[in-house]
Amino acid sequence: MEVTLKGKVALVTGGTRGIGSAIVKQFAASGATVATNYRNQEQAEKFQAEMKKAGVDIHIYQADVSDFDACKQLIETVEKDLGPIDILVNNAGVTQDTTLRKMTKDQWDTVMRINLDSVYNMSRNVIEGMLERGSGRIINISSINGQKGQMGQSNYAASKAGMHGFTMALAQEVARKGITVNTVSPGYIGTDMVMAVPEETRNKIIAQIPVSRLGKPEEVADLVTFIASDKAGFITGADISANGGQHMM
């Protein structure tokens, strides 16, 4: 089954590394015009060089997704440069892990602002245009730990669980207008961040995964690309797991 995003404009937050980078590449390969944002200039330059070498044309903009006005400006700029946004992927996220008794207010606030407030900031600023056009896709990248919780991640787990509450509510608001809103919850994926974990620790994680391996960023990207396509018009309000069977709902 061929999945195409030809003629679509997509904006992926946090798309210069990890799962976000794989989504950006797959969207571009599927024919979409793709934009992403960055906060880290060095990471953005590295990503741009990689994309240029691979022959992939990506539009990159500086923006802090935890800032509502910055998100509004980002979306206005992207739409001015590339056209109306058909697909929004809320992928930006951070961790500030520690047990609750040691967690500072700043650690809580930072994770909630970037992981959850950003979903509101971005979605609020694209939804009017999608409603006017009668079509659109919003995809929120959550986590297995938003589904099952994880010790030392009360802030992260809360932010990722909150994403899906947002998904279900917004999906009901806009379904009749041709807009779908879904969550994708990856398990442990072989990104640079996970691969930097000591091998002994990685092996313990893999031992808990029924398929006996880490996921690939490209596997998540393929799933997200399908959900973003016209073929997925009957899927909305869903939380789709990609975790190798580690957590079954």
Catalytically annotated residues: 156
Strand ranges across the sheet with 33-38: 58-62, 33-38, 9-12, 87-90, 136-141, 179-186, 239-242
Distance CA 74, CA 78 (A): 6
Distance CA 5, CA 32 (A): 5
**Nearest CA-CA partner of 51 in 28, 78, 32, 31:** 28
Distance CA 98, CA 189 (A): 21
Q: Virtual CA dihedral for 202, 205, 206, 210, nearest 10 degrees?
A: -170
Give the list of residues 6+ apart from residue 188 with CB closer than 8 angstroms, or none: 144, 194, 205, 206, 209, 214, 215, 243, 244, 246
Distance CA 182, CA 242 (A): 13
Distance CA 47, CA 205 (A): 28
Give the list of residues 6+ apart from residue 44 with CB closer than 8 angstroms, or none: 16, 38, 60, 62
